Chain A
C-alpha cells in the first residue's frame, strides 16, 4: 500500500474525530468549540465538549483499536475468517458478571451495584472465563477445540443470564438490556486512562508475537517445524485478546462487528499478510469506523441518540456481506 493511502487514512481518522466532537444534539460551531475548549470551564459548552464529547470520541478511538486488533488476533489464531474478539466467550463472561451484579444482587438479597461496580464485575466475569480458557488450553492442544469450548462457555453464560433475567424486576432487566446495547458515553478521563494503559500494554505484547503470527497463518504444524513456541504464542494471543476485549466490554458494553469486519477491510486494502503492516492499518480503520458509527449514533442535532451496538451491527453486517459478494470469498 502506498504512503499516500496511509496519509489519506490518517487524515480521514482526524477528520472523523473532529466531526465526532463537533456533532451532537446541541449545535456548537467549530469556532465555538475552540472557545469552549480554551474558554471558561463553567460554561455548558465547555462541559459538553470536554466532559461528554471528547471522552466519547477518545473512547471510540480506543474501542475501535482494541476490538479490531483482538479480532485480527482471533482470526489469525483460529485461521477462521468468522472469528472475532468474542469467540472465546470473553464477552459472555463479562455479560454474566454484569448480569450477576445488576440482577443477581436482589435475588441474593444484596443491593444492586451501579457504575464502577458494574465495570468491576464485568472485568471479573471476563477474567473468570479467561482463566478457564487458559486452564483448558493447557490440557487440549487443538485450537479448533478451544474455539468450540469458547462457544460453549458463551452458551452457558447466556443460559445463566437468561435465568437471572427471567426472575428480575423490570427496572433491573432494563439496566441489563441497556448495558447490552453498548455505550461509549459517561466515561471519565480517569477511566479512559485505564483503558489507554491496557491498550498500550497489549500493543507492547503484540510486538513480541508479530513473527509467530505471520507463521501461524501457514498452519500450526508448519509453525512448529519452524521452531515457533506454539503454546507460548497461543497464551500471549489469548491474553492480549482477553485484556483488550474484556476491558473494553467492561467499560463500553459488548460492541459487535468491529472486531469481525475491520481485519477484512484491512486485508482488502493491503495485499499482504504481514502483521507488521497489517496492525497499524487495522488500528486506523478500527478507530475510523467506530468514530463514523458514533457520529451516526448521535443523530446530530436531534434530541435523541441510538445505541452504539445497533449502529455498529447496522454498518458492519452489510459491510461484511458486501466484502463477500465483491471478493466472492473472505481473503485469508
Chain B
C-alpha cells in the first residue's frame, strides 16, 4: 500500500514538474529587480531583491566553471520558483549546518548524507530523535530517498561540471542550489554565504547581523596583532615523501597572515594544496616557530611512527604543534570542518592565541596543543 502511495506521489510530482517546465518564461517575465544586497568579500554569489523575494545568482559554482546559476525565491511562489521561507531543506555538506544553527532554523533540515559527520549538539538532538533522514554514505546521496522526502530545496556542492546526481534531482523537479563557499579564498568570504541562507529562510536581516558581528570581531582581532612580532609558521603534514601545505593565498594562508603569523610559503599562489617534496620543506621550515594543522595526526608519537623526519623540526622539538583533529563531535565528525568556514573569527582568535600567547587570554576553540 505504501508503495502505491509513494508511486502515486512520485507520479504527481513528475506531473507538477512537467507543468513547471512549460512556463518558465511567464514567471520570470514579470520580475523586476528592486535592489542589490551588499556582498563584501564573497566572489561566488550575489543577491538581488525582486518583487516579493530574492534572486540568488551563483558564479563559478565549481572550480574552473564560468557559469552563472540563478534561482528565484519568493514569499508567494509562482510556478517555477522556490517559496520562502524554505520549509523542507536538504543539505549535503557539514559546512551547511552552522548557518542553520546560527539562524535558528535547524528544524528545517529533513535530510543529510551520512549524518554521523554532523557534530552540532542542537542538530544531533534532532538527528537522534529521527527527524533528519540519513541519505546514504559519503557524497553519494541516495536519489530515491531524496525524492521521496519531497524537499523544497537541496543545497549541493560541485567539485566539477559533472554532477549527474543533482541533474537527476532537478529533472525530478527538486530545486538544487549550489553552495560554493569552499572555493572562497577570503575567510570572511566563506562566512558571508550565511547571507544566502538568510534569504532562503527569509531571515535576511538576521543573517546580515550575524555576518556583521563575525566581520567586526574578525577585523578587531586582526587589528590587535598588526604591530606584534610575527613568528614563523609551518602547516600540514607528509604522506611518505610529499608534504601537503596550504597555498599562501588560500583561506588558511590568509588566516595565518591575519593572525600575525609569518607563513613560510606565504608567497605561493594557487588553488588546492601545495605538494612539496620533504627535502624542500625540511630545508625551508626546520626553524619555524609554530606548526599548525598537521593533517589528521592526533599525537606526537603517531607522527613519529609515520615519519621520523618530523623530529628535525624546531616546532616539533619544542612541542609547538596545534591540531584541530582532536575536536570531534559525539559521532566522530571533526568540528573544525563543520564550523570553521562559518566562524573565521574564532579560527583567527585561536591562531592569535597560539602565535601570541602573551597578548591574549582567549581559550582555544577549534585547536588543541598536540599531546603524546
* A residues in contact (CB < 8 Å) with B: 24-26, 44, 47-48, 51-52, 56, 112, 114-117, 166-171, 174-175, 178, 183, 185-186, 188, 298, 302-305
Contact = CB atoms under 8 A, between A and B. Distances in A.
A115 B305 contact: yes
Contacts of B296: 112, 171
Given A24-B277, A47-B282, A170-B138, 20 more contacts: A26-B280, A44-B282, A44-B283, A44-B286, A48-B282, A52-B241, A52-B279, A56-B241, A114-B302, A115-B302, A167-B137, A167-B138, A171-B296, A185-B241, A186-B306, A186-B308, A298-B277, A304-B275, A304-B277, A305-B277
Given A44-B312, A167-B137, A175-B239, A185 B306 contact: no
Contacts of B283: 25-26, 44, 48
Nearest to A114: B306
B276 A303 contact: yes
B242 interface: yes
Contacts of A169: 138
A183 to B, nearest CB: 4
A240 B29 CA distance: 77
B307 interface: yes
B240 interface: yes
A183 B241 contact: yes
5 contacts: A48-B283, A116-B305, A170-B138, A303-B277, A305-B241
B142 to A, nearest CB: 13
Interface of B: 137-138, 140, 238-242, 275-280, 282-283, 286, 296, 302, 305-309, 312
Given A44-B286, A178-B240, A185 B278 contact: yes
B307 A186 contact: yes
Nearest to A53: B279
B305 A52 contact: no
Nearest to A299: B277
A110 to B, nearest CB: 13
Contact of A52 (B275, B302, B306, B309): B309
B137 A304 contact: no
B314 to A, nearest CB: 12
A115 B137 contact: no
A166 B279 CA distance: 34
A302 B274 CA distance: 13
Nearest to B305: A115
Contacts of B241: 52, 56, 183, 185-186, 305
B279 A48 contact: yes
A188 B277 contact: no
A203 B312 CA distance: 37
